Amino acid sequence: MVFNDLMSYNSKIFIINGPNLNLLGKREPEHYGNKTLNDIKENCIKYVAKKNIELIFEQSNDESVIIEMIQTASDSDGIIINAGAYTHTSIAIHDALKSSNSPAIEVHLSNIHKREEFRHKSYISGVVDGIIIGLGDQGYILAIDAVTKIMNERVS
């Protein structure tokens, strides 16, 4: 756990990663880059090192586990979600995010709108506070800043 002057001691950001993201670095590097999910996690941990935020960085190939993670976040916690392929298929994840009062940012490493047609539809976009698409692993850092800003605004 690491701290910053702006956030309260128990502030948390859940970074939730969906199916096949455990294969980053090996899977389709032309779309996702060469960094592994662990590389991205370490970069996020370094980034929040001087902030008063507990970072919970998880990945699951199981839709129900992702839903449980969303439901675990309290109203004062932030959510960053890269739901992978579930972005385009999961009404259940949509409903979990819609039911949550946590600020949430959707992240995609690649520009889903420049890819196959089936990737253009996101069931998540309509129920999150913002979307970061196509900026590679830098999207996670931008999402941390965005969700932190929303969390701070809610406290003030």
What is the model's pLDDT at position 31?
66
155, two tokens: 């406290």
Q: For the chain, what percent of residues have pLDDT higher than 90?
A: 70
For residue 105, how many other CB atoms are within 10 A of its CB?
Answer: 26
pLDDT at 52: 82
CB burial class (10 A; 0-12, 13-18, 19+) of residue 99? exposed
pLDDT at 4 over 70: no
How far is the C-alpha of 92 from the C-alpha of 42, rounded, in Å? 29
Locate the domains of the chain by residue range.
Answer: 12-155
What pLDDT band is residue 33 in, cutting at 50, 70 and 90?
low
Beta strands in the chain (DSSP E): 12-17, 54-59, 78-82, 104-108, 130-133
- Could you give the residue numbers annotated as active site? 32, 108
pLDDT on residue 85: 93
Average model confidence (pLDDT) for the chain? 89
Each residue's pLDDT tens digit, 77-109: 999 999 999 999 999 999 999 999 999 999 999
Band of the pLDDT at 76, cuts 50, 70, 90? confident
Q: Measured on CA atoms in the order 127, 132, 136, 140, is the torsion positive or negative?
A: negative
pLDDT of residue 117: 83
CB atoms within 10 A of CB 68: 12
Beta bridge pairs of residue 108: 133
112-143 residue pLDDT tens: 878 778 777 899 999 999 999 999 999 999 99
The CATH superfamily of 12-155 is: Dehydroquinase, class II (3.40.50.9100)
Residue 1, pLDDT above cutoff 60: no
